[in-house]
Structure 1
Amino acid sequence: MSISADERRTRILEALESRGSVRVAELAEALGIPAVTVRRDIAVLAEAGLVRRSHGSVSTVAERQDGPAQGASGRGPSVGLLVPAVGQYFDEVIAGARAAAARAGAQLMLGISSYDASADRVQVEQLLKSGADGLLLAPNWTPADQPGGQDWVEDLPVPAVLVERRPAPGSAAQELDSVASDHRHGVLLALRHLVGLGHGAVALVARRDTWTAHEIRRGYTDGCALLGLPAEPVIDIVNPVADTEAVAADLAEACARGVRAVLVHNDQDAIQLLPLLRARGVQVPEQLAVVSYDDVFAALGAPSLTAVAPPKHAVGAEAVALLLRRLAAAGSTPVHHVLLLPKLTVRESCGATAGSRTAV
């Protein structure tokens, strides 16, 4: 059975954590993954600053530097970062956090929970055992979770900042600093753009397995109400591999009954849908305007995709800044809940004819 790119890269990082340095060929054999695939994954991880490549080998990146802020070890503070996966979305968050930590002379340590809620606390405990002076947390929460499911953060022995997560009202997590993309605003940007092009109805194709997916769904409902658009039934993506044909069929049907615009979460799903829509006689953008959400691969679509880009790099950098400020202040500053606004980049898939432009 094939595994996703995120899962492969997680396994590579886990293998390097135990070995430190290994030849690429040996790593491919140990993981049972073709060497050419491992090399591509390593290139992505190296671009994000998570590994170092050298003459057929790959190794972990030593992040610790001396700096002005002092942690428990007497050197720069040690920052633990928990993410649900590596690859695509969180690569940029990690890169932003890594750059900000390096500028501050801090050490960044990574924990990966692989979208498994039970793994969150295990990974946090490991980061604490490794000497983390503070934590950046992107736990496996969704906006639909009960507040009590977030209360375990109350027992953390070090300061923590939520990353791309917003605390539930009434939960212990509300006492933590947080930095997140305002995905609901991002959806509103897409809907406003499509309304401005004359569309009176916009479909939504979305996953439901992540925090971002839930926020996009909520943003769609709120945005349609605000703009006076009919809220179309959401076309669900449960299995990104198996559901694509069915999603394309549902979109073609919606187009036949007059819906000529769609927002798709995320880029990968939107790009996969393009040839399937063409096979059903639906041309993009002539018969269907498409906006994707994430803007990781959107520019590589055929046609290139208009896309909403959450400020992922800035989220990682701001989270580090908040945590270091909290460590220095020893709890004497107010709690900050920071929302950063996405941007919309207009490309060919909505009917743009020349170049691209960015709208805030």
Structure 2
Amino acid sequence: MAMSGEERRRLIVTAVGDLGGRVRLTELADRLGIPAVTVRRDVATLTGAGRLSRSHGFVSLDLPDPGRGPGSGAAPGAGRSVGLLVPSVGSYFDEVIAGAREAADAAGARLVLGIAPYAAGEDRVQVARLLESGAEGLLLAPGLLPGQDPESCAWLDDLPVPAVLVERRSATADGPGARLDAIGSDHRHGVLSALRHFARLGHESVLLAARGDSWTAQEVRAGYREGARLLGLRTPPVLDSLSPSGLPTDPELLADRIAAAVGEGTRAVLVHNDQDAIRLPPLLRARGLRVPEHVALIAYDDVFAALAAPPLTAVAPPKRAVGAAAFDLLLRRLATDPEMPVHRTALLPVLRVRTSCGGRRDAQTRR
């Protein structure tokens, strides 16, 4: 008969005492003949209940000062260490990091950052380092997406600690990471809000210029197809803002293609992301097209869009809120019931209207 969770946890507490009151978690798992991932989860439950303490891979009966224990007014994550993996810093994920950091500070927890660029194998290396640093749980935004290369992402199903996917989700119901919690922005809804704005301004055709190298980019493309079909908008072929080699498309070439689309009657352009969108107005002006008089422009991400000339209307995913919500969910799983149902949470982006769309199309200056 299988051992119940409570029986396992009683056995763990007894074993820690028998081993001198302080033992490495891996040694404890070997001693009990229980998978390390199961022991980690049970230890997390016992730690949250104040029956054990844990630090840097060790489990101990040397419990914290009662004055700082659960229910004493101490921060709920006091003493915990959480790893955060992102593919880059300097743009989109900065606000995600800031949100997670604020939530960790409020909980009294330590946040450890790992950066893994969009390269096969690097995610797993960085996660191993985060675990070596003592991370009891992980917030994961892997650069290589589960849908791109399932074999390279199989490690998501073998993590020894609880984890939450951040701005990521398994591509299939049984793919890598499908059993992990996931919190992110509803990018398809964000794109729909942009398309609706264009439609209200009288545009019947919208061009998308987009990247294709990230989860956000793939969701933006899917949202464009779905939203245009729902609203009855015409959709010229998508312009790739990244070459097949992964390098940015020459912005001059991108501007040429947008100018050609304008010449064929499409005067509304959605651009993912801000960096690509900000470069377009001066390039289009050199081709006799002004924003917003001749071209209505919306950026996706809203990291730098407000700094453009003219300031760009932009879809703003709730990046900071995503980081905070992901941390809070991970803390719940660590501190309460590790067997609670898997969560899938999507936060809605907002459209920030500035000056790059102008008024109704029939009131715009004709070229």
Shared fold (TM-score, shorter chain, > 0.5): yes
| One-letter code aligned to 1:261 | A
Partner SS for 1:145: coil
2:335 is aligned with 1:328: yes
Aligned-partner Cα distance in 1 for 2:146–2:296:
29
Match of 2:103 among 100, 104, 122: 100
1:50-81 per-position Cα deviation (integer Å, ceiling 9, x unaligned)? xxxxxxxxxxxxxxxxx999962265210000
Partner SS for 1:214: helix
Greater alpha carbon shift after TM alignment, 121-130 vs 214-223: 214-223
| One-letter code aligned to 1:80 | G
Q: What corresponds to 2:235 in structure 1?
A: 231
Match of 2:308 among 301, 316, 319: 301
Q: What corresponds to 2:346 in structure 1?
A: 339
- Tell me how large the CA RMSD over aligned residues is: 2.0
Normalised by the size of structure 1, how large is the TM-score?
Answer: 0.76
Q: What corresponds to 1:222 in structure 2?
A: 226
Aligned-partner Cα distance in 1 for 2:359–2:227:
23
Per-residue deviation, 1:115: 1.6
2:150 is aligned with 1:150: no
Aligned-partner Cα distance in 1 for 2:49–2:337:
16
Aligned-partner Cα distance in 2 for 1:147–1:330:
29
Partner SS for 2:315: strand
Q: What corresponds to 2:185 in structure 1?
A: 181
Partner SS for 2:352: strand
Partner SS for 1:324: helix
1:108-132 per-position Cα deviation (integer Å, ceiling 9, x unaligned)? 0000001223100000000000100
Per-residue deviation, 1:150: 3.3
Q: Which has the higher contact order (CA 8 A, sep 6+)?
A: 2
Identity across aligned pairs (percent)? 61
2:120 is aligned with 1:113: no
2:191 is aligned with 1:194: no
Match of 2:134 among 131, 136, 145: 131
Partner SS for 1:299: helix
Q: Does structure 1 conserve the Cα–Cα contact (< 8 Å) formed by 2:146 and 2:176?
A: no
1:254-291 per-position Cα deviation (integer Å, ceiling 9, x unaligned)? 00110010000111111101100000011111111000
Aligned-partner Cα distance in 2 for 1:286–1:311:
30
Greater alpha carbon shift after TM alignment, 142-151 vs 81-90: 142-151
Aligned-partner Cα distance in 2 for 1:332–1:211:
27
| One-letter code aligned to 1:235 | L
Aligned-partner Cα distance in 2 for 1:331–1:308:
35
Structure (1 or 2) with the larger CA radius of gyration: 2
Aligned-partner Cα distance in 2 for 1:177–1:197:
39
| One-letter code aligned to 1:72 | R
2:60 is aligned with 1:78: no
Match of 1:274 among 270, 276, 281: 281
Normalised by the size of structure 2, how large is the TM-score?
Answer: 0.75
Classify 1:324/1:274 alpha carbon distance in 2 versus 1 (closer, same or farther; 3 Å).
same
Q: What corresponds to 2:35 in structure 1?
A: none
Aligned-partner Cα distance in 2 for 1:78–1:214:
32
2:329 is aligned with 1:312: no
